[in-house]
Amino acid sequence: MIKSNYPVFAVLIGLMLTVNSTFGQSGKTVFVQKEWVYEQAPFPECHASTIAETPQGLVTAWFGGTHERHPDVGIWTSRKTASNWTPPVEVATGVQPDGKRLPCWNPVLFQIPKGDLLLFYKIGPSPSTWWGMLKRSADGGKTWSEAERLPDGIAGPIKNKPVLLPSGVLLCPTSSEDHNWRVHFEMTSDWGKTWTKTPPINDGLEDGAIQPSVLFHPDGRLQALCRSQKSGFILETWSKDGGKTWSPLQKTTLPNPNSGTDAVTLKDGRQVLVYNPTSPVNGKSGPRTPLDVAISDDGKTWKTLAVLENEPGEYSYPAVIQTSDGRVHITYTWKRNRIRHVVFDPKS
């Protein structure tokens, strides 16, 4: 009888995914870990991951089901333990009071300081008709409250994480697709119980934009980087008054193939961006590979820090945070059938 080599093979694969790797222009070691959040799941497709640090550890979420827009698509989560990620658990569905089921979309996690873990997500047949939902967890994502529907006209953070302003306002970068692609911002001072919002900052007629991410600058200004529908470049807007008003959208020098991005301000003031550095093709969405990490001192001039993926396939919709130990964590869609988790030390 031939003995299986699977245990040895699994160990080798694990080492390949977690060993330090050399990337980027500096030639220094960047990544300290690269792993799957899961390898097997009760659904064939996944997308739009999000990640947060809780007092109990890391939590990630995504939507999964038969395929995007299918009614069976729900919100799934996994928690990081000392040894691995827990198996995926479905924590939200789009089942309606009449029994009809609608797809879920774009979860976004946010840990309230010394408080609950918030899970924002959307339910609806399409991005032009969806509405915002919210769940809360008091135990780091192990159990969740009943779902709350957000007020009409409030979607919650549409793809990327909210940011907590010095004023105590939770600023949620969001957008709509019902009348062209338009960016706006929503604010809550009581963790999602009451809301205000800005008007759309663009009309979407010449170039639509969605899915902003918010960065902090030393002079108190906020910068938002947005997915572009047509221009072929990431768009930016700036606020001098804590997100109440924003400048007109302008093109950056960063390519964008009409694909989601995410960004975070590090504790040392530098900015990190994860994005697909490609352009649209013949007026249509471009390839979602490669997937790069870029870094900037000022949010204007960027240099490539690392290439996460550069093989054929889709590597997209990243989420990025910096944890309390100073490390940067990224999750992203890997070919629509897995979520990958990458960790690096920005000081290396």
pLDDT, tens digit, 9 for 90 and up, residues 248-294: 999 999 999 999 999 999 999 999 999 999 999 988 999 999 999 99
Domains of the chain, with CATH numbers?
207-348 (2.120.10.10)
Helices within the chain (DSSP H only): 6-18
Buried b (16+ CB within 10 A) or exposed e, 10-32: eeeeeeeeeeebebbeeeeebbb
Q: What is the DSSP string of 19-59?
A: S-EE-SSS-SEEEEEEEES-S--SSSEEEEEEEEEETTEEE
CA distance 99 to 320: 36
pLDDT of residue 77: 98
pLDDT, tens digit, 9 for 90 and up, residues 296-318: 999 999 999 999 999 999 999 99
Mean pLDDT of the chain: 92
CA distance 345 to 348: 6
CA distance 198 to 185: 5
CA distance 207 to 313: 27
pLDDT band at 347 (very low <50, low <70, confident <90, very high): confident
pLDDT, tens digit, 9 for 90 and up, residues 39-98: 999 999 999 999 999 999 999 999 999 999 999 999 999 999 998 999 999 999 999 999
CA distance 231 to 253: 11
What distance lies between CA 84 and its chain's CA centroid?
21
pLDDT of residue 28: 53
